[in-house]
Amino acid sequence: MIYLDNAASGWPKPPAVGQAMAHFMEQVGANPGRSGHRLAVEAARTVYGAREDLATLFGANDPLRIVFGLNATEALNLALLGLLRPGDHAITSSMEHNSVMRPLRALQRQGVELSIVHCSPQGVLDPLAVEAEIRPNTRLIALIHASNVVGTLLPVSAVGRIARRYDLLFLVDAAQTAGAYPIDVEAQDIDLLAFTGHKALLGPQGTGGLYIGPRVALDELRPLVRGGTGSRSEAEEQPDFLPDRYESGTLSGVGLAGLAAGVRYLLDEGVARVREYEVELTRRLLAGLQRIPRAILYGSGDAERQIATVSFNVAGLQPSDVGLRLDEEFDIMCRVGLHCSPGAHRTIGTFPGGTVRWSLGYLNTVDEVDAALDALDKIARG
């Protein structure tokens, strides 16, 4: 079987991830942040280790600024619903995933003004076009780091500089890039970074979170969920410090044990090396796709300007038919359709039919890429 759906969920995971989770289930098990007994301390250490490793990965100097939650979608909802008030203005791009667009559209109906900056059909964003949208009441710029449809990287550093210059907050959706592409929240002027554990971070589903930088005033970021935090227990008010303010209820200790193992694996390999490998694989894939006569390729066509995610169609075939044949005849797993990003498909010109998406991960191989190209070639020839 060839798994080319890493943009949906990274798989397989390094063996250490499952091992860490099994160890937690069998040897640790306790609630990570409540009691003071030895097992609870062990569980709390596990969670803290995950915070630390993610802080290192993202260039954040304080692990307590990493707030954990269910996934990147929840983190994005926290940032958007927590910060934006009626009368505020927010700027975003035309390549966003629904985890950014749906909260923004709901906020728009409540009186938040929204500007959507158009990207080119290749998914490229001009930072100056973002700057041109800034108004006196602009509060926030929210951008996807790299498109989950065509992989194109957005100019996060340039937009971060702009946001800083105008004293705006900058939210980056790193669901597709965390673990696969270098991120430095300080150097890139990122105030809020949403990440998910189960894609390129190689952890399990059910983990993710939000980095909250020092320019975000906590009293201006409303918690999504309030409840028990294992702190300030004599008070019935939500704590006002990190990470507790945004972490109510029991965290997934087992999930974070797995995520910590995934992140540690990436830190050992080095994100630069992961990136280099994925660029090579993407380059090979793009070159192969360009040789298939009826294949229509989307995106920039340049492996350096994108992550390892590629969208294409086969002229004359529905994406769903291509996907089904890849699965049934060739045992190749991928995702077809609109990929929860209708805006991105509108931008690249594939709405409403969608595309076939192949998304590679660090554990994919050259042989798998070649075999997939071979399979597509057969399908394209009919």
Active-site residue, from 116, 218, 340, 371: 340
List residues binding another protein (CB under 8 A). Answer: 32-37, 40-41, 44-45, 47-48, 51, 62-64, 229-234, 239, 241, 243-244
CB of 230 to another protein, least distance (A): 6
Of residues 36 and 249, the one with the C-beta less far from another protein: 36
| Bridge partners (DSSP) listed for residue 53 | none
To the nearest 10 degrees (0 to 180), the angle between helices 98-109 and 72-83 is 30
CB of 42 to another protein, least distance (A): 10
CB of 270 to another protein, least distance (A): 23
CB of 234 to another protein, least distance (A): 7
Of residues 44 and 261, the one with the C-beta less far from another protein: 44
State how far the alpha carbon of 64 is from the alpha carbons of 151, 205, 244, in Å: 31, 22, 9
Rounded CA-CA distance 32/43 in Å is 5
340 catalytically annotated? yes
Dihedral sign, Cα of residue 335, residue 339, residue 345, residue 351: positive
243 preceded by cis ω (within 30°)?
A: yes
CB of 52 to another protein, least distance (A): 8
Q: 260 and 236 in contact (C-beta within 8 Å)?
A: no
Of residues 44 and 193, the one with the C-beta less far from another protein: 44
Of residues 85 and 232, the one with the C-beta less far from another protein: 232
Kindly write down the DSSP assignment for every residue of 194-226, as one continuous string: EEESSSTT---TT-EEEEE-TTS-GGGS--S--
Of residues 39 and 340, the one with the C-beta less far from another protein: 39
User: What would the two tokens of residue 8 be?
Assistant: 């949906």
Residues taking part in catalysis: 340
